[in-house]
Amino acid sequence: MTPVDPEMRALLLGSIPALRAFAFSLTRDLDRSDDLVQETLVRAWTKSDSFTPGTNLYAWLFTILRNLFYSEQRKRRREVEDADGVMAGRLAALPDQEARVELSAFQAALSTLPANQREALVLVGAQNFTYEEAAEICGVAVGTIKSRVSRARGRLIELLGMTGPDDIGSDGTTLAAMSHP
């Protein structure tokens, strides 16, 4: 059995909120995202000897999570999807405040973006990774990430009926995703 490294344990535990948010942005399902985070932490713990101290632990963890997600997606190709959202619509509670309505509209618009644009926007806008770190996580060039983020922001502005970034509401999720670094 591998000896417990208290520093690595603390770092992994501290990364859970960011991993959960990223996993949810990919899966849009709380149970699946929690399973994905759990599997990411297990892999990171068992492969902790492959992590290079002094490098970006979050980027390493996000790369593991992303790879697990896409591996899972390939396995799930034969499963029935809820493409029209009927089942998901039955589970949703109607928002009762303006901020919840705005957040719901934002989430709906975000979910219509292509996966690669949504992923780039969440990494840069909501998780505060640099373009370089996001590019490393996604395995693409920095310019590709910048382009994806720009297109995603432009599409969200269009989908939400805004004239530009100045029309953004006050909730933190929307502000983070739409703000320019």
Would you state the pLDDT for residue 73? 83
Would you state the pLDDT for residue 3? 62
24, containing H or E segment: helix 16-27
Q: Is the dihedral of CA 100, 131, 9, 14 positive or negative?
A: negative
Q: What CA–CA distance (Å, rounded) separates 48 from 64?
A: 12
Question: pLDDT confidence of 82, banded at 50, 70, 90?
Answer: low
Question: pLDDT confidence of 114, banded at 50, 70, 90?
Answer: very high
End-to-end CA distance of the chain: 44
| Domain ranges for the chain | 1-83, 96-166
Question: pLDDT confidence of 83, banded at 50, 70, 90?
Answer: low
Q: Which residue has the higher pLDDT, 120 or 92?
A: 120
With respect to CATH, is domain 1-83 assigned 1.10.1740.10?
A: yes
- Residues of the chain with pLDDT > 90, as a percent, come to 43
Question: pLDDT confidence of 106, banded at 50, 70, 90?
Answer: confident
Would you state the pLDDT for residue 67? 92
Query: What is the pLDDT averaged over residues 117-127?
Result: 90
Upper half-sphere CA count for residue 42 (Cβ side, 13 Å): 7
**Best CATH choice for the domain 96-166 from the list 2.30.110.10, 1.25.40.10, 3.30.60.50, 1.10.10.10:** 1.10.10.10
Retrieve residue 157's tokens.
């502005």
Question: pLDDT confidence of 1, banded at 50, 70, 90?
Answer: very low
Query: What is the pLDDT averaged over residues 84-106?
Result: 68
